[in-house]
Amino acid sequence: MSVARAYGLFEVELARKVLLSPHMARLTFAGPAVRGMRTLAADQRIKVFFPNAAGERPAIEDRADWYAIYKTQDVATRPPMRTYTIRHLRAEAGEVDIDFVLHGETGPASRWALNAEPGDRVQITAPNAAFEGEVGGYEWKPPAELSRVLLIADETALPALAGILEDLAAREAPPATQAFVEIPHADDALPVATWPGLEVEWMPRGRDAHGARMIEALVRARTPVLATAGEAVGEIDIEAVLPWERATGGADGFYAWVAGESAAVMVIRRELVQQRGLDRRAINLMGYWREGRVLD
């Protein structure tokens, strides 16, 4: 008897495309296979495969060792793969929404999203509904006792952050929350869930460096005050790997989720853990991308 794998490969086609802001579009993908997809958290990560440079549709074989095979293929001809967040999943309807940051024709994903038409096909790897165990691929795991939340993100993490706000708003007693979101332009601010204890600050970047506004948000971020500095944090070679530190719990009802450009995340990591002495067990720090590099 075959055992269901944690992740499946899903054949989908574009059903709809809606421009949410000048730099963000929501693409709805559909297909019978989506009925077998699931998501476990607001920041559930998935992989999307796009047509290659020759315009050939992705044709990854649905097998356990697909990634090992993929890595052996010629980079010039294999389908580009990028990481995204499930924004909404309507499995019973066979539809999944993925929000794309639009940054022109500078990369295969943004280029495809800008030019795609209904009926265009891609492949997605996502959690398999037939698998009943833990599949991972997400970091938003706040403790039950939650009194204060800090969220810092750029536009690449905005889909996940928006889902997190919806998750918090649905609680019987939503916690006091500060959310700082760096966006390309003021017009890129989006409607999000709200409650009396939520403060959302949209921070247009303009022509400044990516991550600059994320770092500046630290001045206004209210965090627990400790008497002594925290532990020293080691360096991470962000030119080779994406920095990624998962919260495992923490104490005192505080929980943080930080995601965006890797260099900015590293500065925030040093400030929160080393300078402010916060319990790193309560802090998610994730480099979603590194400016000037492609790190999958």
141 falls within a domain: no
Q: Are residues 154 and 233 located together in one domain of the fold?
A: yes
**218 alpha-carbon distance from chain centroid:** 21
> What pLDDT does residue 296 have?
57
Domain of residue 199, residue span: 148-289
* pLDDT value for 111: 95
Residue 112 near residue 51, CB atoms below 8 Å: yes
- Do 112 and 173 fall within a single domain? no
Number of other residues whose CB lies within 10 A of the CB of residue 241: 12
Same domain, 160 and 277: yes
Q: Are residues 227 and 152 in the same domain?
A: yes
Q: How does residue 153 score in pLDDT terms, banded at 50, 70 and 90? A: very high
Q: Is residue 138 part of a domain?
A: no
Q: Are residues 119 and 63 in the same domain?
A: yes
Residue 140 belongs to a domain: no
Which of these, 236, 185, 240, lies nearest to 207 by C-alpha position? 185
For residue 228, what pLDDT band results from cuts at 50, 70 and 90?
low
**295 within a domain of the structure (yes/no):** no
- In tens, the pLDDT along 11-40 reads 999 999 999 999 999 999 999 999 999 999
Element holding 25 (H helix, E strand): strand 24-30
pLDDT tens, position by position, 60-112 = 999 999 999 999 999 999 999 999 999 999 999 999 999 999 998 888 999 99
* pTM of the complete model: 0.95
**Residue at which a domain ends, from 127, 162, 177:** 127
Segment 194-220 shows an average pLDDT of: 97
CA 137, 270, 294, 111 dihedral sign is positive
Convert the pLDDT of each residue in 256-291 to its tens digit: 999 999 999 999 999 999 999 999 999 999 999 998
Least-confidence region, from 74-78, 207-211, 236-240:
236-240
| pLDDT one-digit tens code per residue, 124-143 | 999 999 998 899 999 999 99
Quote the pLDDT of residue 152. 98
Q: Where are the beta strands (DSSP E) in 81-184?
A: 81-90, 95-101, 121-127, 148-153, 176-183
Residue 137 lies in a domain: no
CA neighbor of 233 nearest in space, from 286, 269, 283, 264: 269
The CA distances from residue 178 to 83, 118, 166, 198, 217, in Å, are: 26, 38, 14, 6, 10
What beta strand segments (E) does 102-197 contain?
121-127, 148-153, 176-183
114 and 202 inside one domain: no
Burial code (b: 16+ CB inside 10 Å, e: under 16) for 247-261 equals: beebeebbbbbbbbb
End-to-end Cα, the chain, rounded Å: 33
Pair (84, 164) in one structural domain: no
| CATH at 189 | 3.40.50.80
Is the residue at 75 inside a domain?
yes
What's the CA gap between 237 and 220, in Å, rounded? 28
Average pLDDT value for residue range 226-239: 75
Number of domain units in the chain: 2
**DSSP 8-state secondary structure symbol assigned to residue 63:** S
pLDDT tier, 1 (very low <50, low <70, confident <90, very high otherwise) = very low
Q: Residues 238-242: what's their mean pLDDT?
A: 88
Q: What CATH number did the domain enclosing 61 receive?
A: 2.40.30.10
Average model confidence (pLDDT) across the chain: 94
CB 231 within 8 A of CB 273: yes
293 confidence band (pLDDT: 50, 70, 90): confident
